[in-house]
């Protein structure tokens, strides 16, 4: 039952985050002039929010794990996974894991873009 509760908490946060991401992206798309401002804003805002949520939890130990799960894995995860990526990268830097940081960031960006290209190319094969 504890796992089911956690999944439902994450799902509720993801629904809220994903819905808000969609609304922001739609609203900003009309003003984008070809640049993905909506995505950029959502990703950067997600980074700020996950930092705030983890920072608040670190300074206020009374915040429940369920609340943290709702706000970080749920909301920020649904809003953008970039916030999690940025937070993990910062943790590597704070722990002085410089080599791991470089590999993680490089692999995430380069391989991520390559996989988007591959996925896009695969759709042309089956269209």
Q: State percent of the chain over pLDDT 90.
A: 61
Tokens for 126, please give them: 């089956």
Look over the chain and give the mean of its residue pLDDT values, rounded to a whole number: 90
- Please give the DSSP secondary-structure letter assigned to residue 96: T
Q: What is the DSSP letter of 10?
A: H
Per-residue pLDDT, 38: 81
Task: Give every CB contact of residue 54 below 8 A, 6+ residues apart in sequence.
Answer: 68, 72, 87
Higher pLDDT, 26 or 6: 6
How large is the average pLDDT for residues 97-109? Answer: 94
- pTM for this predicted structure: 0.77
Better-scored residue on pLDDT, 34 or 108: 108
Q: What is the pLDDT of residue 1?
A: 64
pLDDT by residue (tens digit) across 12-23?
999 999 999 999
Q: What is the mean pLDDT of residues 83-109?
A: 93
pLDDT band at 127; cut points 50, 70, 90: low
Distance, in Å, from the CA atom of 103 to the CA atom of 25, rounded to the nearest integer, reads: 30
Structural contact between residues 79 and 18, judged by C-beta atoms closer than 8 angstroms: yes
The string of pLDDT tens digits covering residues 24-47 is 888 887 666 767 778 888 988 999
């Amino acid at each position: 039952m504890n796992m089911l509760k956690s999944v439902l908490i994450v799902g509720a946060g993801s629904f809220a985050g994903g819905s808000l991401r969609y609304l922001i992206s739609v609203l900003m798309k009309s003003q984008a002039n070809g640049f993905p401002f909506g995505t950029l804003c959502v990703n950067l805002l997600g980074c700020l929010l996950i930092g705030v949520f983890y920072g608040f939890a670190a300074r206020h130990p009374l915040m429940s794990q369920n609340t943290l799960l709702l706000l970080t894995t749920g909301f920020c995860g649904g809003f953008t996974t970039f916030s999690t990526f940025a937070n993990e990268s910062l943790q590597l830097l704070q722990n002085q894991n410089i080599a791991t940081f470089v590999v993680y960031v490089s692999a995430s960006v380069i391989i991520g873009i390559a996989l988007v290209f591959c996925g896009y190319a695969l759709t042309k094969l089956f269209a």
